[in-house]
Amino acid sequence: MSDATVDPRFRRKPPKRPLRLSWADERIRGIVWQILVVGVVGTIFYWLWSNTAHNLEVRRIATGFGFLNREAGLPIAEHVISYEPTDTYLRALTVGVLNTLKVSIVGIVLATILGTTIGIARLSKNFLVSKIASFYVEVIRDLPLLLQLLFWYTVMQGLPGPRQAFHPTEGVFLSNRGLRFPALEWEGAHTAAVVAFIAGIVLTWLYGRSARAKQMADGQPRRVWPAAIALIAGLPVVVWLAMGAPWTIEWPALRGFNFRGGANVSPEFAALLIGLVTYTAGFIAEVVRAGILAVNQGQWEAAQALGLRHGSVLRLIVLPQALRVIIPPLTSNYLSLAKNSSLAVAIGYQDIVSIANTTLNQTGQAIEGIAIIMAVYLTISLSISLFMNWYNARIALVER
Smallest distance, other proteins to C-beta of residue 237, A: 36
**205/257 with CB nearer other proteins:** 257
Inter-residue contact 261 to 244 (CB < 8 Å): no
Smallest distance, other proteins to C-beta of residue 314, A: 18
Give the amino acid at 295: V
Among 6, 302, 386, 395, binds other proteins (CB under 8 A): 6
Binding mask 297-336 for other proteins (x = CB under 8 A): --------------------------------------x-
Question: Which residues in 224-283 contact other proteins (CB under 8 A)?
Answer: 255-258, 260, 267-268
Inter-residue contact 231 to 180 (CB < 8 Å): no
In three-state secondary structure terms, 144 is coil
**29/209 with CB nearer other proteins:** 29
Backbone angles phi, psi at 254, to 5 degrees: -80, 115
**111/353 with CB nearer other proteins:** 353
Inter-residue contact 289 to 123 (CB < 8 Å): yes
Question: Which residues in 373-392 contact other proteins (CB under 8 A)?
Answer: 373-374, 377-378, 381-382
Backbone angles phi, psi at 284, to 5 degrees: -65, -35
**130/192 with CB nearer other proteins:** 130
Q: Which of 140, 100, 96, 99 is nearest to 118 (CA)?
A: 140
Residue 122: left if φ>0, alpha if ψ -120 to 50, beta else—which one?
alpha
Distance in angstroms (rounded) separating the CA atoms of residues 316 and 304: 12
Among 15, 20, 51, 238, binds other proteins (CB under 8 A): 51
Among 15, 43, 52, 237, binds other proteins (CB under 8 A): 52
Smallest distance, other proteins to C-beta of residue 71, A: 10
**43/55 with CB nearer other proteins:** 55
Question: Which residues in 94-113 contact other proteins (CB under 8 A)?
Answer: none
**81/217 with CB nearer other proteins:** 81
Inter-residue contact 162 to 175 (CB < 8 Å): yes
Binding mask 330-369 for other proteins (x = CB under 8 A): -----x---xx-xx-xxxx-x--xx--xx-xxx-x-xx--
**164/210 with CB nearer other proteins:** 164
Across the chain, where does the E strand assignment appear? Answer: 173-175, 178-181, 183-184, 249-250, 253-255, 258-260, 263-265
Exposed e or buried b per residue across 50-76, where buried means at least 16 C-beta atoms within 10 angstroms of its C-beta? eeeeeeeeeeeeeeeeebbeeebebeb
Binding mask 161-200 for other proteins (x = CB under 8 A): x--------------xx-----------------------
**187/304 with CB nearer other proteins:** 304
Backbone angles phi, psi at 192, to 5 degrees: -60, -40
Among 41, 80, 198, 263, binds other proteins (CB under 8 A): 41
Among 59, 223, 394, 400, binds other proteins (CB under 8 A): 59
In three-state secondary structure terms, 134 is helix
Instruction: Give the DSSP H/E element, type plus range, for residue 311.
Output: helix 310-312
Query: Across the strands, what pairs with 139?
Result: none
Instruction: Give the DSSP H/E element, type plus range, for residue 333.
Output: helix 319-340
Residue 158 interacts with other proteins (CB under 8 A): yes or no = yes
